[in-house]
Every structure is written in C-alpha cells, then in structure tokens.
Structure 1
Amino acid sequence: MTTLSRRTLMGAALGTLGAAGLPFRAAQAAGSMTAAVYPGGWDEALRAVLAPALKQAHGVDVAFEPLFAVDQIAKARAARGVAPFDVFVLDPGPRVSGMDLKLFEPFDPARLSNRARLPAGYSDEVGAGVAAQVVGIAYNPKKVARPAGWRDLFKPEFAKHLGLTGFGTTFGTISLIEMAKSVGGSEADMEPLFTELRKILSLVPAVAQPAAMPGLFQQGQIDIMYTNTYTVTLLKSRGVDIEFAVPETGAAAFGTTMHIAKGSRNIDAAYQYIDTMISTPVQAALAAPPYSFVPVNTEVKPGADVPMKSIDDLRSFVTHDWTKINPQRPRWIDRFNREMAK
C-alpha cells in the first residue's frame, strides 16, 4: 500500500460493533489504563485477546468503554480537555474529525516495537492502523436468495427481510452511500436514497440502532443487513445461518486506527496497548475464528472467511472520501432519524 497523506491515512484509502467500561478515574492507578472499544464484536474480541496479552507482556490492566467512533469524538469534546479514556479506536471519518478538533496527543511511531510489521503508511504523527474492515451484505441463505448488489435491497422480496440502520457508524454510512449510488445518487446527492427508502419503509421489519442489528438477525427478526465481515463470522460461529455477499459493484473497505487521547495520564501504557494490538500473536488470534478481523500486520494472513488474501488486496475495494462525507454526515444522520424511525 502506498503511503497516504496525513489526513487520509488508511481511512480514505481503505466501521462495528456490550458491557459498560469503568470510568476513567478508576484507571489511574499504576499499571492500568482505559480504552474506547466498539460495542459488540470488538468489545468481545479485545477483552478476550488483547487485554490478557497486554497484561502478560507489560503488566497493564485495561478497562474498556464501549462506544461507537462518533460517540467517542462527542464524549471527548464534551470532556473539555479532560481525557475520558486513554486510547481512541476510530474509523476514517471520526479520525479526521479528531484531528481537526485536536483531540489526539502527538504520536511517535518509533515507540512501537512492532512498527516494522505494519505496511508503509499505517502509522503517522497522530496514530497507527490496527485493523481493516470489509463491508457488504449479510443474509440468511435459508430465508432469502443471495442479493446480487445494493440495488436489490430496494426490491420488495428483499426489503421485507431488511434491517435498516442509519449513518451513525462507518459501515452504515458507506452502505447507505453505496445504496444511494445504485439508484442514481452520490455522496453529493442522497435524495434518491431517501426516495427509495420511503417506498420500502412499510415493508422493512426493523429500523434500529447499529448495535441491535446482530441480535435482530440472530433472533430471526431480520434476514438481511449491511455489515462487516467479522460480524458475519462471529454470528456464524454461534450457529446462526448467515453468509456474506460481496455486492456486484464490489465490497467497501476502510482502515481502523488507534490514537492516544489528548491529556492522557497513561501515555506509556497507551503506547504499550497499541503496540500489543498490532503484534503478530494478537493479530493472528484476532484474525482467527470466531473474530476474523482483517489484520494489518504483514506477518498475518486474513482468515478464510475474509474476501482477500492479504492487506494489499484492499487497493481493489470500494473506498470513500471522508473529507467530503464528514461535512454532510450530521445532516444525513438527522434526516434518517426523522424520516425512517418507525
């Protein structure tokens, strides 16, 4: 992968799934820290794999706080200079927002002992890449036919099985953008999307928050959803009938990064946390079932359920320009919530 600009590291070139974490002040003792984590699959995986590895390697305990990326940014802004946690985990859009708002400590990639295992361009002065995500359509093969692409989701035979979620997550945002493109819209024109969504709204069985979608699928309340590969593999490991469909226009992909929060009191532990996350044993464990993360460590190959052979394959996936998306996204979120809530 070629080195990207400071503002678009992995994000624009290449979002997410819950127990409450301990409050920040509870993690101030020596050998402890706090980290934001995506609710659901990420929370489960990092508690099971990363936390014990960090404790074993560095004697550091981590308290997790499950928050989607946009919620991490909102919480950090509301904290007014007091770090609400030590480490962010972000998708490309919120990463750019965090940079613009100066929410990150300066980052020195040289402090990562595993830096050489990252592809070029996967670490810079604000953070480091820790995973990639691939987004497409999940469906229950026993209930519905395999969707050929995003446009199929507007057809009644698919819409009556579809779970809708909005623009609050990266996977939701890029899925809805791709759905808009399939009916003549674009990043600059979402009107065709909302027109088609209004036509099928009475058919769809659920409009819900992103964290609720896997549960609704597992319970059989929906049989189609737009999501990422690791949600599919995690549900499959639990015996759920689910498959991942790569849309005919291609699956979308993006990078996930970690950053040290401005004002963190545990900077050494934060570096150790990120370094452990990108280490070969942790990346290999996360890439294996049931988690099936897309690894960024060049020594680790993606699992069989991921539609790629190496991190370099992400070059051929659908990507998005978050410098164009971010200014419009709050309006899209508000409109979806107003017009699609059932």
Structure 2
Amino acid sequence: MTGFMNMNRRQLLQAAGASAAAASLGAGKAFALAGDGIKIGTFSGALNDVLEKVAGPKFKSTHADAALTFTARASAEAYPRLLVAKTNPFETGGLWNDTFAALGAKADLFTKVEPANAPNVAAIPQDLQPRHGMGVAAAIQPFGIAYNPKFVEKPKSWLDLFNPKYAGKVGMHENFWDAYVMLARILGKDEYNLSVAVDEWAKHKKNIGVWTTSYTQMEELIDKGEVWLGPQWGGYTAAAQLRGLNIAFAWPEEGCTQQTIVGCVNAGTSPAVSKATQEFVNVWLDPEIQLEILKRAGLSPSNPNVTLPTEYAQLEGVVNVKTNTKKLFQYDFAHVGGTLQALRREIDQKLR
C-alpha cells in the first residue's frame, strides 16, 4: 500500500505547487488515454489487490461487458497530472488520500457520486464522509500514537510525546502533518495556525530521535526499539500487531484525526462512463469488499453493516463505526495541502 502514504518529501512539495504549473500547460493532452473503459487509479499493494482481484470480478458478474483497468499510483503523483488532463482524464475514478482528494475537489477534478448509482453510500455515516462531498469514504483509520509496550506505558495524551524520559526516542514523520493539527487544537488553535504547534514542538525537539518517511519505517523502528513511540496510523499499526510486531496503538484522550481512503469519480468523462465508474465504487462499499480491505490492509470499514472479526475488533487502531464514541476529527485538508511548502520550511527551520 505504498501509494497511500509512502511518498517522499519532494513528491509532496511538487504536488502542492502543481496548480500553478498546470495553469501554464494545455488542458489534458499528454496523459489522456483513448477508449471508454473504466480506468481506476489505486494504491499499490493490498488495496490494488482487493479492487482488482476481489471487487473487479464481483462487478463483472453484473457488468459482463465492462472493461476494467487498474493503475497503481500515489496521490501526489496523480494529482498534478490530472490538473493538466482535467477535461480528458487518464483515469475515470480512483483512490485518494484526504489531502489530494480535497485539493482535487477544490480544483473541480471530481464529480459527485450519486445515490442512484451507488446505493451503498446511504449506509455510510455522514460524519465519516469527506466534507467536500466529491467522493466517498471507502475505508478509514485513526491517526494517533503508536508505541512499543516493552518500553512505554500506553500514552494517554498527545502531550505525552513531550515527556523528558522519551528524549531521543520519539519518531516523527517528515511528510505528514496531523500531529501538528492535533497539537494546535490542544493549544486552542486549529489547522489554520499550525505555527503554534511547531513552536511548541521546538521546546521539546530533543525528544525527536528519528524523522521517518513512511509508516512502514516508523513501525519497524518502534518494533526494534530504536524509537519507542510516535504519531502513527491506527490501521497500519493494527496490521503490524497482527503480524507479530512489538507495537500497539493509543487513541489519545484529545482524539485522533480521521484518515480516509477516499473513492472519487473523475469529471470530464462521458455520462455512461461516469455512471459505470460510480457503480463500481458502489461495489467497494459492499460489506464483503470492506471486510477484505480490513483483513488485507488493516483499514476500518466505513460501512457499519460489516461485522468485525474478533481479532480486529479488540485492536484500538480498528474503528467500529457502528459503536465508536471516541473523538475522531476531520479538518480542512485542502488548506493544509495548499500550505505544505511553508509548513515544511518552518518545520525544517525550527525542529531539525
């Protein structure tokens, strides 16, 4: 699943500035593909496998003539390409992370998934759906704190990352921002003023032992005890636990941010292709497919009609959307995504 979050810093910063670059290029010529098939952009690994090998055959059982193709790509790579292929997109739909789904919605890259074409959408709790309305929550996970139980008592608060006894033992992601969003909330601000969170972290930067570039690197470092704890995705932590790693997930009392796998349908296609793509997105929300996403990737079903297997239900990084009462926040992803270069410079100057 490297396409979801294992993107490097250069990709993120290049994509954040892609809107300006797109304005200087012609609309949609270099990357358009011919034909009226359903072309889906996915994340490599487990999610690509579920869509291609499980959801695809199920869809084909009722749409025998549909031509399905799948391309694994990162959101940060696909976004700038689609900006210049807006009226003739090279994919008809796909998976996106929160940031680039929100930026894409703001740039009018996507069209609304209509209930008539995707009746499963009605089952998804509205507070889990992306606020911009141009996509559906195909799966979710909380973003909180991962830790090694051999070295750390279960953290209760985001502020536990500042405990002096963790000097040099906290891992921080160099290409993800939700830890700053949550700290800003604790300090009485929000995502529109992340400088206050960076300044607070600067007071405790001696705790930062490693800057990581992926969730897999973070979980490996925690498992080996090279770092003891750090901000991390709950679903990926749950999957690592089930693989036997020395890692656990804590949901801080102040809450977690919600990380969503967003299913979007591209604007700029024919009505028939758009309808068919929406019907395929509907299959992603079937309980059977949602359960496969959980088992293969650790990501929580957004459809409350899925019964969680016991081994998953007992893990704190897995969300039961039917019964969850813990705090789970979305924020203005498009705003943060549009200010990444300035935020990155500030982090480099003050924390590294």
Q: TM-score range by the shorter chain?
A: 0.7 to 0.9
Pick from 315, 333, 338: which aligns with 2:348?
A: 338
Deviation at 1:307, TM superposition (A): 6.1
- CA offsets 1:24-74 (integer angstroms, 9 cap, x no match): 97986776623132xxxxx43223323212332234544232314x55433
Other-structure match for 2:160: 152
Query: 2:58, 2:32 → 1: CA distance?
Result: 22
2:327 is equivalent to residue 317 of structure 1: yes
Deviation at 1:138, TM superposition (A): 0.3
Query: 2:114, 2:319 → 1: CA distance?
Result: 30
Pick from 84, 93, 102: which aligns with 1:96?
A: 102
Alignment of 1:137-176 (within 5 A): 137-166=145-174, 168=175, 172-176=176-180
Pick from 247, 259, 263: which aligns with 2:264?
A: 259
Q: Secondary structure of the residue that 1:205 maps to in structure 2?
A: strand
Question: Matched residue pairs, number?
Answer: 312
2:289 is equivalent to residue 279 of structure 1: no
Other-structure match for 2:304: 298
Pick from 15, 36, 39: which aligns with 1:33?
A: 39
Gap runs ≥5 in structure 2: 8-29, 61-66
Other-structure match for 1:231: 236
Query: CA 1:55/1:26 → structure 2, altered by over 3 Å: closer, same or farther?
Result: farther
Once the two structures are overlaid, the 10-residue window that deviates more, 238-247 or 220-229, is 220-229
Query: 1:107, 1:309 → 2: CA distance?
Result: 24
Deviation at 1:92, TM superposition (A): 4.4
Query: CA 1:154/1:54 → structure 2, altered by over 3 Å: closer, same or farther?
Result: same
Q: Secondary structure of the residue that 1:64 maps to in structure 2?
A: strand
- CA offsets 1:281-331 (integer angstroms, 9 cap, x no match): 11122234x533221223103431246774244565242441794487435
Query: 1:56, 1:320 → 2: CA distance?
Result: 33
Other-structure match for 2:5: 17
Query: 1:207, 1:139 → 2: CA distance?
Result: 15
Task: Give the TM-score, by structure 1 length.
Answer: 0.74
2:181 is equivalent to residue 180 of structure 1: no
Other-structure match for 2:250: 245
Other-structure match for 2:55: 54
Task: Give the TM-score, by structure 2 length.
Answer: 0.73
Instruction: Tell me the amino acid that sits aligned with residue 196 of structure 1.
Output: E
Gap runs ≥5 in structure 1: 1-15, 38-42
Query: 2:289, 2:337 → 1: CA distance?
Result: 35
Contact 2:115 2:122 in 1 (8 A): no
Contact 1:295 1:301 in 2 (8 A): no
Query: 2:32, 2:80 → 1: CA distance?
Result: 21
Instruction: Tell me the amino acid that sits aligned with residue 190 of structure 1.
Output: L
Instruction: Tell me the amino acid that sits aligned with residue 335 of structure 1.
Output: R
User: C-alpha root-mean-square deviation of aligned residues, in Å?
Assistant: 3.6
- CA offsets 1:164-223 (integer angstroms, 9 cap, x no match): 124x5xxx3322221234456543433342223334435422113245434444554433
Query: CA 1:136/1:110 → structure 2, altered by over 3 Å: closer, same or farther?
Result: same
Identity of aligned residues (%): 19
Other-structure match for 2:46: 45
Instruction: Tell me the amino acid that sits aligned with residue 17 of structure 1.
Output: M
Query: 1:215, 1:109 → 2: CA distance?
Result: 41
Alignment of 1:214-229 (within 5 A): 214-218=219-223, 220-229=225-234
Other-structure match for 1:198: 202
Contact 2:5 2:214 in 1 (8 A): yes
Query: 2:91, 2:167 → 1: CA distance?
Result: 40
